[in-house]
Structure 1
Amino acid sequence: MIRDIKNILFLDIETVGQTTDYQSLDERLKNQWARKASFLKKEEGITDEQLFLDRAGIYAEFGKVVVIGLGYFHAEGEEVQLRTKALSGDDEKELLLEFKQLLSKMAPDIRLCAHNGKEFDFPYLSRRMLINGIALPTALNLSGKKPWEVNHLDTMDMWKFGDWKNYTSLDLLAAIFGIESSKTDMDGSMVNTVYHEQKDLNKIAKYCLQDVVVTAKLYTKLQSIELPEIKVIET
C-alpha cells in the first residue's frame, strides 16, 4: 500500500510575469515579447500589453516561479498522512535554491509527480534555474538519460493512455474521480493579479497546496491504490 507511493514527491508551481506590466520590461525583452505576441494573438484588437498580463507567466522566458507546493505520503501507524509544504517568495533565486536544497536531502531515487508536469512544471523549473545560474539537481537533469531513467511522473500523461491530442485539466479529473476540487475562490488565471496587484503571496501558496493534494489523490486513483482516509498535514 504505502510502499507503492513511497519516494514520490508531488509538486505544483505557481508562476507570474517577471514584471507588473509590459512597459516594465527592458527593451530587448519588449521586442521579444512583441514577436511572441504576434503568434499568440487570436482575438482582434488585443494589445501586447494585455496579452503580457494574461499570458507572460506561463512562459519561462518572461515569467518567474513564486510558489512551489510539495507533498509526500507518510505512514504513521495505521494512519496515512499526506504531508505538504509550500515554498514561496519574491526572490526567485532564493526560492529555487531552497527547493534544490530540499531535493538534495531526499532519497536519490525520488520521483517527481505533477499534473502536466512533463510539459510545464518540470521544464519551467529547469529553465528558471538555469536562467538564475543554478546547476540543475539530479531529479531535474535529463542530460544523457534514457527515457526509462527519468523519474518523472505526470498524472495527465497517465490519463492519456497514448492519446497525445487530448488535454485534460486537473479539475476535470478531480470531478470524475470524486476528489474535492482545489478551485474554490481562486483559479490559475487569477494568480498573476493576486501576486502583482493584491500582493497576497500567502493566498497563492494555499491555492498551490490544494492542487498538490488533488494531484496526490488523483495519482492513487490512477494507480488503483486503495488507501484509508488520507490525513493532510501542512508542515
Structure 2
Amino acid sequence: MGPVVVDIETVGRFDSLGTSVQEYLIEREEKRLAASGETGDARANVVESLPLNPAAGTIAAIGLYLINDQRSLVLINNEENEEAFPTGHVELDPETVVYYGSEAQILRLFWAKLLEKAGPGGRYAAYPVITFNGRYFDGPFLMLRSAVNGIQPTRNLVGSRYTLSENCDLLEVLTFMGTLSWQHRYSLDFWCSQFGIESPKQDMDGSMVGEVWRSGDFERLVRYSLSDLKATAQLYEAVQPLIEVQKGS
C-alpha cells in the first residue's frame, strides 16, 4: 500500500444523451449566450463542453500509479470498440497493466483498486490520493459518474482542501489552497517545465482525447495516461517541502 496518483481522461458523447437532456443543455446555453451578449452556436458549445461536464460527459480512461511500487494500472472504456478490445486485463509491460471495460466496469474496478492500494479515506487516511486539479475535476467526475452508474465510491475524492494526507491536489498545494488567485492556476505542463520534469504533453494533449478514443487508438491513449501519471508523481516528489509545511499549518 501507499500513495496513489489518479488521473482521468474524459470525452463527450452528445448523441448518447436523451433528447430531452440534449434540448435542456442547448436551451441553457442559448440563455447564457443571450444574457452575456455573446454570439455563437449553442449546440456546438454544448458538444464542445461535454468532456468537462461530470453530469453528462463520459470517462474514457482512468489511470492509477502506485508511487512506492512504481507500477501503473490504466482502465480504458471500450464501449465503442469492444470487438477490437474485449473486456479484460492485458499486461503491457512488467510495470503496467491495462484493463478494458465499460464505463461502469472501469469505475467499479477503480474504486476496488483504490481501496486496496491506498486504504480507506477520511480524516485518518493512511495514504493520500494524489492528483493535479483533482478536487475540481477528477474527483467530482469520478464520483458523479459512479453515482450515475449505480456504483458506490470507496473514498471521498473531493473532501476538505486542507486534508493533504487524504487528498493531495498538487494544484491546491501550488496555489497555497487558493490563496493565489486564478491568474496563478497554471497547468501541469507549466509546472513540470518549472521543476525540470519532462512534459507529459509531447505526443498529445487533453483536447485530442476524444478523437483518439473514438478512433480506437487505445495504445496511444494508454501512453498519454501513463505520461500524465508519471509527471504528476514526479511533481509530487518535487513539491514535498511545500506539502509538509502546509500539512502542519
Q: TM-score normalised by the shorter chain: which range applies?
A: 0.7 to 0.9
One-letter code aligned to 2:194: I
Structure 1, 42-51 or 52-61: larger mean CA deviation: 42-51
| From 159, 169, 192, the counterpart of 2:174 | 159
Give secondary structure in 2 for the equivalent of 1:118: helix
Note the residue ranges of structure 1 that are not aligned, 5 or more in a row.
Answer: 1-5, 75-80, 226-235
Match of 1:195 in 2: 213
| From 13, 16, 19, the counterpart of 1:27 | 19
Alpha carbons of structure 1 residues 192 and 40: separation in structure 2 relative to 1, 3 Å? farther
The alpha-carbon deviation at position 141 of structure 1 amounts to 7.7
Alpha carbons of structure 1 residues 118 and 31: separation in structure 2 relative to 1, 3 Å? same
Whether 2:107 is the aligned partner of 1:96: answer: yes
Note the residue ranges of structure 2 that are not aligned, 5 or more in a row.
Answer: 79-101, 121-125, 243-249
How big is the alpha-carbon RMSD for the aligned residues of Structure 1 and Structure 2?
Answer: 2.7
| From 2, 8, 27, the counterpart of 1:7 | 2
TM-score scaled by length of structure 2: 0.74
Alpha carbons of structure 1 residues 34 and 186: separation in structure 2 relative to 1, 3 Å? same
1:182, 1:207 within 8 Å by CA — same for their partners in 2? Answer: yes
TM-score scaled by length of structure 1: 0.78
Alpha carbons of structure 1 residues 66 and 43: separation in structure 2 relative to 1, 3 Å? farther
Q: Give distance in 2, aligned partners of 1:149 and 1:135.
A: 23
| From 215, 227, 230, the counterpart of 2:232 | 215
One-letter code aligned to 1:105: E
Q: Give distance in 2, aligned partners of 1:114 and 1:125.
A: 12
Can you list the C-alpha shifts for 1:30-69, whole angstroms capped at 9, x where unaligned?
1222134333798965323422442211101121111111
Match of 1:3 in 2: none
Alpha carbons of structure 1 residues 54 and 146: separation in structure 2 relative to 1, 3 Å? closer
Whether 2:198 is the aligned partner of 1:180: answer: yes
Q: Give distance in 2, aligned partners of 1:216 and 1:199.
A: 27
> Which structure is higher in RCO with an 8 Å CA cutoff and minimum separation 6?
1
| Aligned residues between the structures | 208
Match of 1:118 in 2: 135
